[in-house]
Amino acid sequence: MMTTIELVELANKLSNEDMCDLISIWADRIEVFVGSTDKILLTGGLSHENPACMNGPMIQINIDQVIMDDVNDDSTGLQIKAAKKTKN
């Protein structure tokens, strides 16, 4: 196992493109916390097609969808409203 100092040295040598590649390699081990509504936590797994990419000089992390206790968010937010009612 590498020490923290060794990891920092390695990270400082990587380009953003290299980091995108590493994120893609580890995508199945990463979950993103998006936020919460009342007592419901919103999380999402990384996109299977494109987990990380360059967006100008920055690394963009892409998630497939927001998961909330096995309820998927849709564009209207109706499922979140319905789930919130069942949680209360």
Which tokens go with 35?
């936020």
Which residue is it, tokens 């990891």? 7
Cα 58 from Cα 67, distance rounded (Å): 25
Picking from 87, 20, 22, 31, the residue whose alpha carbon sits closest to that of residue 58 is 20
pLDDT over threshold 60, residue 86: no
Q: Is residue 70 part of a domain?
A: yes
Q: Is residue 9 part of a domain?
A: no
Predicted confidence at residue 58, as pLDDT, reads 97
Q: Is residue 10 part of a domain?
A: no
Q: Is residue 66 part of a domain?
A: yes
DSSP 29: G
Predicted confidence at residue 55, as pLDDT, reads 97
Q: Is residue 4 part of a domain?
A: no
pLDDT over threshold 70, residue 65: yes
Q: Is residue 1 part of a domain?
A: no
Cα 13 from Cα 31, distance rounded (Å): 25
Cα 18 from Cα 2, distance rounded (Å): 19
Structural domain tally of the chain? 1
pTM over 0.95: no
Q: Is residue 36 part of a domain?
A: yes
Domain that holds residue 44: 15-87
Of 50 and 41, more confident: 50
- Element (H or E) spanning 60, and its range? strand 58-61
Q: Is residue 3 part of a domain?
A: no
